Structure 1
C-alpha cells in the first residue's frame, strides 16, 4: 500500500529558511576545521573558541556564531523527521549567517589592510631627505632597496639610535650622510615577504607563529609573488591588523 503525498514531508517556504541556515552553518564549521588542522576535537564551539584567539575576523563574529550554534543544535538534534523543524530561523538570522559564511569563505586579502603606498628608499638616499619624509608623512618604517633587492628595514628606533650616537658638542650633522649610515643601527628586523593573494587568516597565522617563537614581526612586505626581489606593493605592521575589525564592521 502506497503512502499518499500528504504523508511525505515537503519543503515549505519556512522550512527553506531552516535548510539555508543549516547549509551556511555547515560551511562555517568546515572553515573552522580548516583553520585548525591540528585540532583533534572538531566540535563547533571548540573550533570557534580556538579560532577566535588567533583571528580577529572570528573574534568579531564570535558572539553571533555562538548563538547560531545553540539554534543549530535545537534545529538538528530536536528534529523528529526529515525536512521538519521544531523552529524556523527568522529571515534576518539566515541572511546574517549567510553573510558571515560568505565573509569567511572569501576573507579579505593582505592588500585590503596594508598601507598600499610604500615609501621605499635606497642606500644612497640622503638622510636629510629621509628625515623630511618622516616628518611630513605618517609612515615610520621604510624598506631599503638597492638595485631592486631588499636590504633592510628602517625604523624610527634605528634613526634615533644613529642620532644618539652622532651627537657631537650638542649637535647632529646629517650633511653628507645617507641611508647606508643607518644600517649598523638597525637590528636584524624580522621581516616577512608574502604574495599579494594571501588572505588575512594566513597573515594572522604568520604573526601567531612569530609570537610563539618570541620573535617580534616588524613588518610584512607584500609583493606580487612574495619575493624580496620584487617591488613592494604594500606593507603591513601589527597596527594594521586593527583594520581587519573595520573591514568586518563594514560588511
Structure 2
C-alpha cells in the first residue's frame, strides 16, 4: 500500500510540475491543462511529442484527484512505467533546455572583405549552405550558396568564371535579404521557437537565429539555429 500511495503522489507532483511549465511556455490567458496542451502542441515540438500522453494523463489525474474517496486512498493507481514517463516529461519541460544544445556549434563565418575563394573552400570543407558575414566586427547578414551560384551564372564568360579578385562584398550585391535574429546563450529552445513563430506571424521568414554571449551583433557567434533544427529535435530519446 505504501508503494501505491507513493506512485500516486509522484504522479500528482509531476503532473503539477508539467502544468506549471505549460503555463510558462505557452503563455495564454486560459490556464486549463487541456487547453495549454492543445495550443502548445501547435508551436512547441516538446509538447507535440508528448501531446497524446499528456491528454491521457489529464484523465488519469482527474480520476486520482477528484475520485479520491478518503485520505490516503486512491480509486485509480498509475503503474510504475506511467509514473516514470510522466516524471521524464516533467524533466523535459522544466529543464534548462538551452538553445545551444541544438545549435550548430561551429559557426563558420567570414569577413566582408574576404576573398570568395576562401568561402568556396569553406563550403567544400563544411558543406553549409549559409554563412554569417561580418564587417567591422558586426554581423551584417548571411551569404548563401545560392547567391554565389547566381553571381557565377551572371558573370560566366566563355564557360569561365574568374574568381581571383572577387570578394564577399561583390557577391552580397546579389544576395536577397535573409532576416536573422540575435539571442543570448542563456535562451532556451521554447523561446527560440517563439521567435520563429512571431516572425512567421509578421510574415517574415526568419532564416536563422544566431547565438552570442549577450545577443549582440558585434559578439562572436556561439551557435546558429534554423527552423529545421527545431523540427528535428527528438524528445523521445531517453
Q: Tell me, yes or no, whether TM beats 0.5.
A: yes
Matched, 1:250 2:232: no
Do structure 1's residue 44 and structure 2's residue 44 form an aligned pair? Answer: no
Q: Secondary structure at the match of 2:151?
A: helix
Q: Is the 8 A contact 1:148 1:230 kept in 2?
A: yes
Q: Secondary structure at the match of 2:123?
A: helix
Contact 1:142 1:153 in 2 (8 A): yes
Q: Deviations over 1:102-140 (max 9, x none)?
A: 111014211111110011111221111211221232211
TM-score normalised over the length of structure 1: 0.90
For 1:242 and 1:41, the matched residues in 2 are separated by 26
The equivalent position to 1:210 in structure 2, one of 173, 183, 199, is 199
Does the alignment pair 1:70 with 2:59? Answer: yes
Whether the 8 Å CA contact 1:152–1:183 is kept in 2: the answer is no
Pairing 1:13–2:3 present: yes
Return 166-175 or 24-33, whichever deviates more: 166-175
1:168-179 correspondence to structure 2 within 5 Å: 168-179=157-168
How many residue pairs end up in the alignment?
A: 238
Unaligned runs of 5+ in 2: none
Q: In the alignment, what sits opposite 2:229?
A: 240
Mean CA deviation greater in 188-197 or 233-242: 233-242
Give the unaligned 5+ runs of structure 1: 1-10
Whole-angstrom distance in 2 between the partners of 1:214 and 1:79:
50
1:35 corresponding residue in structure 2: 25
Tell whether 2:202 aligns with 1:199. no
Q: Distance in 1 between matches of 2:20 and 2:35?
A: 13
Larger CA Rg, structure 1 vs 2: 1
Mapping for residues 98-109 of structure 1, pairs under 5 Å: 98-109=87-98
Partner of 1:145: 134
- Secondary structure of 1:54's match? coil
CA contact 1:21–1:89 (8 Å) conserved in 2: yes
For residues 162-192 of structure 1, give each alpha carbon's deviation from its aligned partner in whole angstroms, at most 9, with x where no partner exists. Answer: 2222123333221200111112112221010
Q: CA RMSD in A?
A: 1.5
Distance 2:30 2:109 in 1: 46
Write the distance in 1 (CA, Å) between the matches of 2:167 and 2:197: 35
